[in-house]
Each structure stands twice: as structure tokens, then as C-alpha cells.
Amino acid sequence: MTAPAPDPRPPICVDGRLLDDGGAGTGVAQYARTLIAALRDAGRAPLVLESGGAAARRSRPAKLLAAARPWPRAARAGGQGFILPDLFREAQVFFDLHARPMPVRVPGAGGVMHWTYPLPLRLVGWRNLYTVHDVMPLDPAIPSPVNGARLRRLLHALRAAGGTFATVSAAAQRQIVERLDWPEAAVRCCHQGVDVAGAATAALPDGLRPGGYLLYVGAVEARKNLLRLLDGYRAGGIATPLVIAGPDGLGADAIDARIAATPGAIRLGLQPRATVLALIAAARALVLVSLSEGFGLPVAEAMALGTPVLAGDVPALAEVAGGAALLVDPLDRAALARALAAIDRDAALRARLAALGERRAEHFALAPYARRLFSLYGTA
């Protein structure tokens, strides 16, 4: 039996920074998993650049000395692609010391290195493509735990080192070029995909029944506008429970206090990925009324699962919804109360939104997503 011919196409590599989170974690982690799933489904299984190994056990002074080295690091072949111990943590210190991305050499021919986040790294001899999900930390009006000044320096340094950039919505693209004063062509929009496989594999948390709750899923933080959401929920006189599921973020203590003082509101912490999908699929409606988003992954996931959506009327959420969600001014508590009452009580409205959402979600399926990625990479 003859061996298969080697693939003549340039390799694609993805960073594995968030792939070992056990299936939970952030929207960026899910972005990385879906990116890999789409490429694999299209017959282009990517390499993965991983961190790990003995270097993670070095002392802090030893790690600082290691990061101070100005020359490129050498990764070895291994795992799903390449391995370089302590890669991601060392790169952050390297950038703070040298004000440039840490160069890394890998075996074999160069191709496309798709960084799932603007990490201070670059592969030598490869096209380095960085996904910038949003630049909300550069907006002083949007609460964020990320250091905006450092993010600005990093993005400029990546561009100066020859990096190219993609983002997940046209709204985010506009924000990036405006905040950084870059030409529009410097950042390309590539709507991310949605992978809802596994939605039927987990049970709902105790006490919840299908169709018997409204759902917010995501970080419990100030930017998500949860205090106004809770006020609108209470003012709307809604009897259906409001489930708020996700990890603590900036301002979580104040939000948790408001949840505890709101009859009908239920707080769940960080859930496994399968449970998150089960929660979305069984919700009466998904509610995401953030002050700002780069994409708004739960909206696309809900549409793919046939769950109606109430979303804040902000550029990225309106773009992702594509006319298939009930939109509301996220700053208007009275409007929030009316919209929540409408989506809770009007079964015909929910059915219409669910049908529209399922059609809209076809755009975010893995096959069209892979086609968008290949267009972005300039390869097939």
C-alpha cells in the first residue's frame, strides 16, 4: 500500500493557549475550538502550537532571565504540531522587556500562523495573522479588566513586525481602525463560526425545565449590563425565572448582590460546555443586552439551536442577529422591561424569532466558516 502524497498546500497552525480548559472558559477559547473544527471538517487539519513541559516549573527569577533573551526561541515538533515550554507566559514578559513580539522558529516550511488572540508572538518565516476580537479596553466608557494602554502598544508592535489582522464582525473592524487610526484595509472581517455539537448530551441543572426560564450566559461583569437587565426583569413583572450563568468578571460582587435581591433570578457559575449548550437549547429565550460586543457568540449559538433571542441594539449584536432577534436599547430600563415581558409572554413572537434565527445561523455553520477562513488565508 502506497503512502498518501504529502499535502502541497502551505500548512496552517493555530495557537493552543486556551485548548486545555476542559471545554469551559471564555468565548476566545470557544473561538479556537470552532476554528480548528471548521478547518478539520474542510480537510485542512491545522497544526497546533502548544506550551508545556518542564520550563513551567522554573523559579520566577529563572523565568525572568529566560524572557530577557532577545533572540528567537526554537519550538520542537510534538503533540499536535509544535511544543515550546512556557511559551505564552514567557512571551508576555518578553514583550514587556523588549516592546516587540517574541520570535519563534518551528521545523518545516512556513505557512499561515493563525493566532486566536493578539498574543505577543510571531512565527519566523510564517504569515502571522492575529484575531482581534474587539478593542473595548481602548474605550474609557466600557468597563474592562484589560490594560488598554498595553493593548494599544501590543497591536501597534504586532503590525510593525509584519502581522496581519482579522476580526469577527464589521462592527469590531470599524472600532479597531478608528481606535488605532489604522487604514480600513489593515483589518479584515471574518464572521466566526458556531459549533453546537453536544447540545443534547448534558442534563439541565437541578430545578430547571425546558422552556421554563429566560437565560443570560457569559461572564458576570459590568460590560454585560446585567444590573439594568435585572432592573428591567423586575419592573416587567415576569414570573419566569431569569437564569444568569457564567464566571465572575469585573463588578461581579455588585451584580451578585442585585441577583440575590431580585425574586426569580438564579445565579449559576461557570458551566461545562455541554451544559451551556443544553441551557441555551432549552431556554424560553436567550437574553444578551451588553453595552458593547465584538461578536456576541451566545446570540449565534442560540439561533443555531432554535432559541429565540433578545439582544441589545448595539452594532455587533445587531449585525450577528441579522434581523432575527428582538433588539432593545440596552440603556433604557423601561424598554428592557417591555421587551422582556414581550419575549416571555408572546409565544408567536418567540416562534417567529426562532425560525428566523435558524435561517440566519446557517451563515455561521462550519462549512461556510471554513470558506471564509480560506479566503482570509488566500488558500484553499
Task: Pick 26 or 137 by higher pLDDT.
Answer: 137
* pLDDT score at 21: 60
Q: How confident is the model at residue 63 (pLDDT cuts 50, 70, 90)?
A: confident
Whether the per-residue pLDDT at 43 is higher than 70: the answer is: yes
* pLDDT score at 1: 55
Q: Kindly give the interhelix angle for 297-304 and 347-361, rounded to the nearest 10 degrees.
A: 100
CA 312 and chain centroid, separation: 18
Phi, psi of 105 (to 5 degrees): -105, 140
CA–CA dist 63, 38 (Å, integer): 36
Which of 11-20, 205-214, 224-233 is predicted with the least confidence, judged by mean pLDDT? 11-20
CA–CA dist 40, 46 (Å, integer): 7
Question: pLDDT by residue (tens digit) across 308-345?
Answer: 999 999 999 999 999 999 999 999 999 999 999 999 99
Whether the per-residue pLDDT at 241 is higher than 60: the answer is: yes
Whether the per-residue pLDDT at 54 is higher than 80: the answer is: no
* pLDDT score at 232: 98
* pLDDT score at 305: 98
Q: Mean of the pLDDT values across residues 283-303?
A: 97
Closest to 55 in 3D by CA, of 40, 47, 46, 66: 66
Q: Grid coordinates standing for 336? A: 428592557
Q: Grid coordinates standing for 323? A: 434581523
CA–CA dist 322, 326 (Å, integer): 10
* pLDDT score at 198: 81
CA–CA dist 24, 270 (Å, integer): 7
**81: enclosing H helix or E strand:** strand 81-83
Q: How confident is the model at residue 263 (pLDDT cuts 50, 70, 90)?
A: very high
Closest to 237 in 3D by CA, of 309, 307, 334: 334
Sequence-ordered list of residues with C-beta below 8 angstroms from that of 355, at least 6 positions apart, any chain:
none
Whether the per-residue pLDDT at 231 is higher than 90: the answer is: yes
Question: pLDDT by residue (tens digit) across 88-112?
Answer: 999 999 999 999 999 999 999 999 9
Whether the per-residue pLDDT at 57 is higher than 70: the answer is: no
CA–CA dist 265, 252 (Å, integer): 15
Q: Mean of the pLDDT values across residues 201-230?
A: 96
Question: pLDDT by residue (tens digit) across 141-180?
Answer: 898 899 999 999 999 999 999 999 999 999 999 999 999 9
Q: How confident is the model at residue 2 (pLDDT cuts 50, 70, 90)?
A: low
* pLDDT score at 200: 82
Task: Pick 370 or 24 by higher pLDDT.
Answer: 370
Q: Mean of the pLDDT values across residues 63-79?
A: 93
* pLDDT score at 3: 59
Q: How confident is the model at residue 237 (pLDDT cuts 50, 70, 90)?
A: very high
- Using a 10 angstrom Cβ sphere, with 0-12 exposed, 13-18 middle and 19 or more buried, the burial of residue 331 is middle
Q: Mean of the pLDDT values across residues 129-139?
A: 97
**76: enclosing H helix or E strand:** strand 76-78
* CA 164 vs CA 111, 283, 333, 373: distances in Å: 13, 39, 41, 14
Q: Grid coordinates standing for 291? A: 453595552
Domains of the chain from N-terminus onward: 12-193+365-377 (3.40.50), 214-364 (3.40.50.2000)
Q: How confident is the model at residue 6 (pLDDT cuts 50, 70, 90)?
A: low
Q: Mean of the pLDDT values across residues 221-250?
A: 96
CA–CA dist 233, 82 (Å, integer): 49
* pLDDT score at 201: 84
Torsion sign over Cα 148, 153, 154, 155: positive
Pairing state between β 76-78 and 102-105: unpaired
Do residues 176 and 187 lie in contact, with contact meaning Cβ atoms separated by under 8 Å?
Answer: yes
Ramachandran quadrant class, 264 (left: phi over 0; alpha: psi -120 to 50; beta: rest) = left
Do residues 176 and 135 lie in contact, with contact meaning Cβ atoms separated by under 8 Å?
Answer: yes
* pLDDT score at 22: 54
CA–CA dist 12, 189 (Å, integer): 19
CA 189 and chain centroid, separation: 15
- Using a 10 angstrom Cβ sphere, with 0-12 exposed, 13-18 middle and 19 or more buried, the burial of residue 225 is buried
Whether the per-residue pLDDT at 127 is higher than 60: the answer is: yes
Q: Grid coordinates standing for 245? A: 450563568
* pLDDT score at 117: 97
Q: How confident is the model at residue 55 (pLDDT cuts 50, 70, 90)?
A: low
* pLDDT score at 7: 72
Q: What angle do CA 297, 299, 302 make, to 5 degrees?
A: 110
Do residues 243 and 212 lie in contact, with contact meaning Cβ atoms separated by under 8 Å?
Answer: no
